[in-house]
Chain A
């Protein structure tokens, strides 16, 4: 059991690192792509398409095994894993951020411009509050994927949850039980992330229609999952 706990710890650390670095990369890529001329953004477009369009497993293995052969730069397992996952998550997040920023009504920006806001003030007071709220569900998707993506790091012998599970199976020959437990632990971590995202959504919502509590919002979202009725008031 302690083997699994160690694995959980490693998985959490890997996932959190990936989320933080991926967010930084994603924000950078999205903002640069929106600011510079199309021609200058081409390298970033290539980056996004390559990392979205190739399997995460190959990216992890490639950075660990192929990069040293091509460049002579040998990274240890954890560094290469974190770089690969952050680049992977960053490529998805950059598209989420770009879409969120672009979805802000141009008229709202013009209104602020006409009132005498500087571009920086427009970003802080008009664009970010609107974009952040609308992007939260999509960011949640990417974060949950990041947790599951970390299971691929077992191929490099990282002692994360998946790898520890496989070790236990090799010792006790109980694949069904162990894989089930591992799956449940992943589910719990993913669901915790989802809850956190629902909380953020509630926190950032500008119209607090369910003023009574966060649990009301939570209940509404949960019930909508089991109901085909349109949930107009969420």
Chain B
């Protein structure tokens, strides 16, 4: 699709495979994401949604298959002769700093305030001065509506607030693409909305986002494209409206029926 338009895709995944022991989680995943596209990934628990996202930023290393981020293979660097070799820890860390990742369980650092959680990566990874980092961190916290909570520690914040801090932390790094691993699954139902609102606002701003989620309404009206992972492959893939209106496979029909209760 994108090659026809001569645009380098934001993410290109070819024949991705990953097994844990004898369990084949990803059998063969092929996916191309254009810049600015919002993709929602649906699938039952254990279908490999998280594994796919974790492979994209190499928190999990795939068994085989290639992942290109804006044309660059992640986990590899080119040497002087243009040959690919495995990336060292420093190079891999640099590649990861361009990929935002939001976890299901927020994973905020308990020993840092909301502001500190956002500012730390700016100081450590981007080598900013403390003043500059805190200034940007406060802007990002304001963006997710948490400026008043900047000095609070994570364990005093609600789940929804913690997840918004985690999103602010990711935003501050100005990533090229954003990965969301079931960002609302660990939240109380009444807290889901505030996180969804933040993600809607990001989608409207034109960020490239890949979101594993169980929120069908969010997927329907925010995603450009929805993919359904089943038994380790992308079983179905369509623009959001079409995906929900005319599901083709029986598995997806059953899944949608079960999810919408």
Contacts and interface: CB of A to CB of B under 8 A. Distances in A.
Interface of A: 105, 107-108, 110-119, 121, 125-126, 129-130, 133, 206-207
B58 to A, nearest CB: 9
A48 B59 CA distance: 33
Contacts of A133: 111
Contacts of B93: 113, 116-118
A130 B153 CA distance: 14
B214 interface: no
Contacts of B112: 206
Nearest to A105: B107
Contact of A108 (B57, B107, B170): B107
A89 B173 CA distance: 44
Given A108-B109, A111-B166, 7 more contacts: A110-B107, A115-B125, A117-B93, A117-B124, A118-B90, A118-B93, A119-B89
Contacts of A126: 109
B96 A113 contact: yes
Nearest to A204: B111
B107 A111 contact: yes
Interface stretch (B98-106, B187-195, B199-207): B98-106
B155 A207 contact: yes
B188 to A, nearest CB: 19
B169 interface: yes
A111 B89 contact: no
Nearest to A207: B153
A116 B97 contact: yes
B163 to A, nearest CB: 12
A84 to B, nearest CB: 37
B94 A107 contact: no
Contacts of A116: 93-94, 96-98, 121, 125, 173
A105 B108 CA distance: 10
B110 interface: yes
Given A108-B109, A206-B110, A206-B112, A114 B89 contact: no
B101 A114 contact: yes
B120 interface: yes
Contacts of B98: 116
Nearest to B153: A207
Contacts of B89: 118-119
Contacts of B103: 107, 110-111, 114
19 contacts: A105-B107, A108-B108, A108-B109, A110-B107, A113-B96, A114-B57, A114-B101, A115-B101, A115-B125, A115-B169, A115-B170, A115-B173, A116-B93, A117-B125, A118-B89, A121-B125, A129-B111, A207-B153, A207-B156
A206 to B, nearest CB: 4
A129 B110 CA distance: 10
A166 to B, nearest CB: 48
B122 to A, nearest CB: 9
Contacts of A113: 59, 93, 96
